[in-house]
Amino acid sequence: MEVSVLKIGHRIHRDYRLDTHLALAARAFLADNLYYSGQKDSKFEESIKKVVKKFGGNFSIKYIENYRSFIKSFNGIKVHLTVYGENFEDLIDKIKDKNLLIIVGGEKVPGEVYSLVDYNLSVINQPHSEVSALALVLDRYFKDKNIKDKFKDYEVIIMPNKKGKTIIKNK
């Protein structure tokens, strides 16, 4: 089983920070891959690869030139996170334990995306961030998994701490 995220319509100068947060949330909440379309952004890719190298895991990031053909050819369940969708908690069990592609976009997702997917899901029918929506869906999807098991090949690890910062280097 593999979970991938597809961000539609990356714009380098406008979306760099938000899409970085999207990739970090995807990685931290156990997705395997982030694919993105729009403008190819080597700086964005390199910054995520550095995080993976430093903090572990097998997360990958890859540019997709044609999101339509990528969605159509994906072998698994295709989910679009949208404020206009059905309540994700009502359908989360239907998508569990299958290859999953979670699609998010910016402000203007092309209308065709709604018909290219198996489910249009919403975490809440109010304006919100795609980062928060992704984190909630991944949290519920992987609720029985131990996040700590995924990040064993790290250079450094952040230890829980009541006050201050504790970072341990892997030897």
- Between 73 and 127, the higher pLDDT residue: 73
- Which residues lie closer than 8 Å to 35 by C-beta, 6 or more apart? 4, 5, 6, 7, 61, 62, 63, 64, 70
Average pLDDT, integer, range 122-150: 87
Q: Are the C-beta atoms of residues 81 and 46 closer than 8 Å to each other?
A: no
pLDDT of residue 132: 95
Q: Please count the structural domains in the chain.
A: 1
pTM, to two decimals: 0.93
Q: What is the pLDDT of residue 148?
A: 66
CATH number of the domain bearing residue 99: 3.40.1280.10
User: What pLDDT sits at residue 171?
Assistant: 65
Mind listing the pLDDT tens digit for each residue in 138-161?
Answer: 999 998 776 666 777 888 888 888
Residues spanned by the domain of 63:
3-169
The predicted-structure confidence for 79-100, as pLDDT tens digits, reads as follows: 999 999 999 999 999 998 889 9
Distance, CA of 140 to CA of 133 (rounded, Å): 11
Dihedral sign for Cα 61, 42, 106, 24, please.
positive
> What does the DSSP 8-state code read for residue 125?
S
